[in-house]
Amino acid sequence: MDAEQLKTEVARIRWFHSIPLTHGIVTPGVDRSRERLATFRLPEDLRGKTVLDIGAWDGFFSFEAERRGASRVLATDSYSWGGEGWGSKAGFELARTALGSTVDDKEIDVLDLSPDAVGVFDLVLFLGVLYHMRHPLLALERVAGVAGEQLILDTHADLLWQRRPAMAFYPNDELADDPTNWWGPNPAALIAMLRDVGFERVEVIASLPSFPRRIIRAVRHQAHRRAPLNQTLSQARIVVHARR
């Protein structure tokens, strides 16, 4: 596919991820994919490892795992690929073709994951999905069942001031005007749930924003009428590594 043809095809798709393709073309995704990658501490060398990317969407992290040498990568999704939201599978398929990638794909819901359905993987990526799950602990049970060594989890978090395990529930579209956002667990809840489903070593590896930084973010959100000040102060994005 030449540069002009690729540009035309890219322009036809509404992208979530910003993916570097060939000919210097980068997909115009709304997600700051490269910046987020830096916070996940994905191993630089994945040679010989199998990787499962749950909720892959356009596939940025799937293709990155392949680039780092993973022997097999399986990208899965359901909601984004199934057309229920504004996303589709078109971005993933075009990026895979443009990159000459051998990443496998399977349309499957998180709650249908099992060793029989997809296998067991050395590394599982569960990025930006948990807070969209109506049944988060059940979802983590399914994810744990296909994680052989390590899980990297990224999620929205809430109730940061609460030291006991707790989760905020968002009815309707309370969080970011998105009715698919259901839960905001705090770090203690994440750690407790991951240990409950069988991970022995659990560590929050992305440092939580300092209180002054949360104040600045909260003021900005309030200015855009996105959330009340006190609510945003108690929220953050966190990354957890869990190992067997």
Q: What's the chain's average pLDDT?
A: 91
Task: Please determine, for residue 238, whether its predicted confidence score (pLDDT) is greater than 90.
Answer: yes
130-144, 169-183, 201-215, 217-231: lowest mean pLDDT where? 217-231
Tell me the pTM: 0.91
Task: Annotate the chain with three-state secondary structure.
Answer: CCHHHHHHHHHCCCCCCCCECHHHCECCCCCCHHHHHHHHCCCCCCECCEEEEECCCCCHHHHHHHHCCECEEEEEECCCCCCCCCCCCHHHHHHHHHHCCCCEEEECCHHHCCHHHHCCEEEEEEECCHHHCCCHHHHHHHHHHCEEEEEEEEEEECCCCCCCCCEEECCCCCCCCCCCCCEEECHHHHHHHHHHCCCCEEEECCCCCCHHHHHHHHHHHHHCCCCCHHHHHCCEEEEEEEEC
Q: What is the mean pLDDT of residues 144-170?
A: 96
Q: How confident is the model at residue 221 (pLDDT cuts 50, 70, 90)?
A: low
pLDDT tens digits for range 44-76: 999 999 999 999 999 999 999 999 999 999 999
83 against 110, higher pLDDT: 110
Task: Please determine, for residue 27, whether its predicted confidence score (pLDDT) is greater than 60.
Answer: yes
What is the percentage of the chain residues whose pLDDT exceeds 70? 89
pLDDT tens digits for range 102-114: 999 999 999 999 9
Q: Which pLDDT score, from 0 to 100, does residue 201 have?
A: 97
Domain ranges of the chain: 3-243
Q: What is the mean pLDDT of residues 132-141?
A: 97
Q: Which pLDDT score, from 0 to 100, does residue 233 have?
A: 77
According to CATH, the topology of domain 3-243 is Rossmann fold (3.40.50)
